[in-house]
Amino acid sequence: MRVLIDECVNPRVKEAFPPQDVATVTERGWNGKANGELLALAEREFDVFVTLDRNLEYQQNTPKLRLGIVVVRVPDNKIARYQRVFRELRLAVRPGQVVQVVSPGMTG
């Protein structure tokens, strides 16, 4: 399962996944791409996109994508916040679905 990590997500989140299966938007040279263009590029090479953008599924036509989307909710971008949900991130990786992973202590 190939996973792409959005540029807004701490790049060390790669540690949650097998190294051969994960890349970041920055590593691909896709920084600054609009969401629609980024998702189209990602869909060609990846199965799942990990982001912090909670509005992505409302701004894009995600049901038409083969690409799964994992929306991570953490209080800040420190890796320790993500490490608490590494297991949940791995379990949430599902092509064709939008899944939220919420860090303990998050509200709203």
pLDDT digits (tens, 9 = 90+) for 43-70: 999 999 999 988 777 777 666 778 888 9
Is-above-0.95 flag for pTM?
Answer: no
User: In which residue are the tokens 């916040």 written?
Assistant: 81
The set of residues, in sequence order, having a beta carbon less than 8 Å from that of 26 and lying 6+ positions away, is 7, 11
> Do 79 and 103 contact (CB within 8 A), yes or no?
no
Domain locations in the chain as residue ranges: 3-102
